[in-house]
Amino acid sequence: MGLFESKRIKELELERDKLKEQLNNLYEREENIRHLNEVLKKMRLEVAELNEKKLAISTELEQLRDEKRKKTSELENLDKEIAHLREMKFEEQSTLLSYTKQIQELDEYIRNAQDNPDFRSALNEELTIDRNELFAIRKRI
């Protein structure tokens, strides 16, 4: 019976060693699963933070696009206004040039007319008529 017992003890020891190995493997797997769960939890937190940052950046980007559209519109309006002001400036310069030319022509006409006795008498008559009209208007008022 000793041989049988000895063989049985060896079988039991071998089975014990296998069970210890399986238990160690299960323990390692359980530790790996815990570690992976912790890593997964951290990664989920990171993903959530990244999603929040992405949302904030998207919102800011949209605001910047809106601001760009507004600034572009303002710039276009300013360009139109500048073009309009340039046109007005050109018209005013043309008018000023025309007035300057008319003044020069009138100055020359007056210089030439001052020497003409007919011009002086016609001017005096017109001034008298204008004076008489002014007196008539004052009397009515």
DSSP letters for 3-58: HHHHHHHHHHHHHHHHHHHHHHHHHHHHHHHHHHHHHHHHHHHHHHHHHHHHHHHH
pLDDT, tens only, 52-85: 999 999 999 999 999 999 999 999 999 999 999 9
pLDDT band at 112 (very low <50, low <70, confident <90, very high): confident
pLDDT band at 119 (very low <50, low <70, confident <90, very high): low
Helix (H, G, I), strand (E, B) or coil at 80: helix
Q: How many CB atoms lie within 10 A of CB 119?
A: 14
Range of the domain at 20: 2-140
pLDDT band at 133 (very low <50, low <70, confident <90, very high): confident
* pLDDT at position 43: 98
Q: Which residue has the higher pLDDT, 44 or 116?
A: 44
State the Cα angle at 140 between 135 and 141, rounded to 5°.
100
Q: Is the pLDDT of residue 123 over 70?
A: no
Domain count for the chain, please give it: 1
pLDDT, tens only, 6-42: 888 999 999 999 999 999 999 999 999 999 999 999 9
* pLDDT at position 126: 67
